[in-house]
């Protein structure tokens, strides 16, 4: 997270320093650890998207025109357009930052080497900030998973090619991946979801037959952490396989009896699925194609919905408008993509921004004869969840090394999609030298326990503002 320290007006010198033994210790806050990393939550599509990563397709120009954030274009000469399956997963840490989760793309390493390497390469792109990467020996396509942003994952398993655990030692870099998989049992799958995504709740649904992918996003989607849509055929003859009619109905019954990651009952709505079509794409020519309206993309306050020039398009768009009244519904012509068994969700991936940002400016005046000294701090905060704490933590010249003081920074949460924005300020006045503030940092915490500091990483790295 890039933070700028602004000195508005100061007669004394302020510098950002790493604490030495002479600086009082920082107050420690409990940090949730997932063994060797600190992933706190996987947001799925329910954070603030900073970049849309997109495969090279003719829909790219349409998306660029409609979306209000940058679009990162995949190199068509090196990688296929299905970045939704192999692209990077953004995960949040307890201390309000992001990391990239790099899974294994479960397709031939010799053919799809660049795709498998892409998440780590994206995280270290020279034109952007470096993002920490967590390598995961879990082989699963992105289209097989959906997250509620509260610790729940819904997934499908078609066969060994869509989910597996890499055999051998843990992976430290993509170049060491052997791609020799073993199919895991349900306990192992849940363990990996907990360890790498911090999902304490996982739900497996039955995939469709003969849809070309076996992926979850062809028939299911979270619209928000409590609301889901699932496909529905009018008759079993409408589907690519007659079993799909019952599969969707059975999956619906499971969802209707399920709670999300924070224990709230899921609200389940059925999304119509058009009668199966026939592919005209040369590689799939004559094979059935499954039209999906759940293969959509949520980007902040917009939802990009597949359209196929069918009568069901309007029904699907109206259902999205009804269930998501505060979002702009944007139809996307996927009549070409669906011939190759995909739609807009399959060719896109979201890079989420930091979920918790604190920026601050401050001024300091020294103690003078007949005039007290001051420290004034102005704070601006953006958080995905409402704040419950915003404190100025500081030390004075008379404080012992193991002591500090805290003052509450008054702030009212003002809702502003996609962030809660908060502004607050405080002025400390001292009339004696021993009351002078020598070090400080700012600590904020939201209502789900995520925290942030200014300066960045003040708790972990013992970096505070030192006032000379």
Q: Name the residue range of residue 190's domain.
A: 44-352
Highest mean pLDDT (candidates 151-165, 187-201, 224-238, 278-292) = 224-238
- Cα dihedral sign, 369-371-372-377: negative
Average pLDDT for 171-188: 58
- Whichever domain contains 442, its CATH number is 2.60.40
Among the candidates 352, 368, 387, a domain finishes at 352
Q: Are strands 419-430 and 437-446 parallel, antiparallel or unpaired?
A: unpaired
**How much is the mean pLDDT over the chain?**
83
**Taking Cα atoms as reference points, which of 387, 391, 389, 444 lies closest to residue 413?**
387
Residue 218 sits in the same domain as residue 364: no
Average pLDDT for 246-261: 98
Q: Residue 39: inside a domain, yes or no? A: no
Residue 344 sits in the same domain as residue 360: no
Would you state the pLDDT for residue 321?
A: 98
Residue 112 sits in the same domain as residue 230: yes
Residue 173 sits in the same domain as residue 284: yes
Q: Is pLDDT above 50 for 20? A: no
Among the candidates 322, 352, 382, a domain finishes at 352
Q: Residue 328: inside a domain, yes or no? A: yes
Residue 13 sits in the same domain as residue 56: no
Query: Cα separation of 137 and 121, whole Å?
Result: 17
Q: In what order do the strands lie in the sheet with 297-299?
A: 297-299, 302-307, 328-333
Q: Prior bond to 455 cis, omega within 30? A: yes
Would you state the pLDDT for residue 14?
A: 31
Coil, strand or helix at 407 = strand
Q: How many folded domains does the chain comprise?
A: 2
Tens digits of residue pLDDT in 278-297: 888 767 788 899 999 999 99
| pLDDT band of 401, cuts 50, 70, 90 | low
- Whichever domain contains 209, its CATH number is 3.75.10.10
Would you state the pLDDT for residue 417?
A: 58
Among the candidates 352, 379, 407, a domain finishes at 352
Q: Residue 17: inside a domain, yes or no? A: yes
- The label of the residue with tokens 């062809």 reads 218
Q: Residue 329: inside a domain, yes or no? A: yes
Would you state the pLDDT for residue 13?
A: 28
Average pLDDT for 382-401: 85
Residue 125 sits in the same domain as residue 269: yes
Q: Residue 1: inside a domain, yes or no? A: no
Residue 275 sits in the same domain as residue 390: no
Residue 346 sits in the same domain as residue 432: no
Would you state the pLDDT for residue 8?
A: 30
Q: Is pLDDT above 90 for 260? A: yes
Residue 318 sits in the same domain as residue 437: no
Q: Residue 451: inside a domain, yes or no? A: yes
Bridge partners (DSSP) listed for residue 463: 18
| pLDDT band of 25, cuts 50, 70, 90 | very low
Cβ atoms of residues 161 and 150 within 8 Å: no
| pLDDT band of 125, cuts 50, 70, 90 | confident
Among 132-141, 152-161, 338-347, whose mean pLDDT is lowest? 152-161
Among 11-20, 40-49, 233-242, 354-363, whose mean pLDDT is lowest? 11-20
Cβ atoms of residues 274 and 312 within 8 Å: yes
Tens digits of residue pLDDT in 30-70: 323 445 568 899 999 999 999 999 998 889 899 999 998 99
Q: Residue 431: inside a domain, yes or no? A: yes
Residue 159 sits in the same domain as residue 87: yes
Q: Which residues 6+ apart lie within 8 Å of 385 measured at CB?
A: 420, 446, 447, 448, 450
Which stretch of DSSP H or E encloses residue 443?
A: strand 437-446
Q: What angle do CA 162, 166, 168 make, to 5 degrees?
A: 170
Residue 333 sits in the same domain as residue 279: yes
Would you state the pLDDT for residue 12?
A: 29
Q: Residue 445: inside a domain, yes or no? A: yes
Residue 128 sits in the same domain as residue 230: yes
């Amino acid at each position: 997270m890039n933070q700028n320290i602004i000195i508005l007006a100061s007669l004394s010198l302020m510098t950002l320093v790493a604490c030495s033994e002479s600086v009082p210790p920082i107050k420690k806050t409990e940090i949730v650890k997932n063994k060797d990393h600190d992933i706190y939550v996987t947001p799925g599509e329910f954070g603030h998207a900073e970049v849309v990563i997109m495969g090279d397709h003719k829909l790219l120009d349409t998306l660029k025109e409609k979306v209000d954030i940058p679009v990162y274009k995949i190199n068509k000469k090196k990688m296929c357009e299905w970045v939704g399956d192999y692209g990077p997963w953004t995960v949040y840490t307890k201390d309000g930052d992001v990391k990239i989760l790099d899974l294994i793309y479960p397709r031939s390493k010799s053919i799809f080497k660049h795709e498998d390497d892409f998440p780590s390469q994206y995280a270290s792109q020279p034109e952007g900030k470096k993002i920490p990467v967590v390598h995961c020996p879990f082989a699963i396509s992105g289209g097989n998973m959906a997250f509620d942003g509260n610790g729940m994952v819904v997934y499908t398993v078609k066969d060994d090619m869509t989910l597996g655990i890499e055999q051998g030692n843990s992976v430290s870099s993509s170049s060491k991946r052997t791609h020799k998989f073993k199919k895991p049992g349900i306990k192992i799958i849940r363990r990996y979801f907990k360890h790498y995504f911090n999902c304490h709740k996982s739900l497996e649904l039955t995939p469709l037959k003969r849809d070309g992918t076996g992926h979850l996003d062809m028939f299911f989607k979270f619209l928000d952490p409590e609301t889901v849509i699932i496909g529905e055929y009018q008759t079993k003859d409408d589907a690519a396989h007659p079993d799909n009619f019952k599969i969707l109905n059975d999956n619906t019954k499971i969802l209707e009896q399920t709670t999300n990651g924070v224990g709230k009952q899921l609200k389940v709505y059925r999304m119509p699925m058009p009668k199966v079509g026939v592919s005209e794409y040369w590689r799939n020519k004559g094979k059935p194609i499954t039209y999906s309206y759940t293969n959509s993309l949520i980007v902040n306050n917009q939802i990009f919905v597949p359209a196929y020039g069918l009568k069901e398009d309007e029904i699907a768009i109206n259902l999205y408008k009804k269930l998501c009244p505060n979002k702009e519904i944007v139809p996307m012509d996927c009549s070409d993509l669906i011939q190759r068994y995909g739609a807009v969700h399959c060719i896109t991936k979201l890079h989420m921004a930091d979920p918790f940002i604190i920026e601050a400016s401050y001024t300091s005046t020294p103690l003078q004869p007949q005039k007290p000294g001051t420290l004034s701090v102005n704070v601006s905060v953006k958080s995905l969840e409402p704040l419950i704490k915003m404190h100025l933590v500081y030390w004075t010249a008379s404080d012992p090394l193991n002591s500090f003081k805290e003052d509450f920074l008054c702030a009212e949460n003002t809702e502003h999609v996609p962030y809660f924005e908060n502004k607050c300020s405080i002025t400390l006045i001292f009339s004696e030298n021993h009351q002078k503030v020598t070090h400080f940092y700012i600590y904020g915490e939201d209502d789900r326990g995520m925290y942030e500091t200014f300066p960045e990483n003040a708790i972990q790295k013992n970096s505070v503002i030192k006032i000379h």
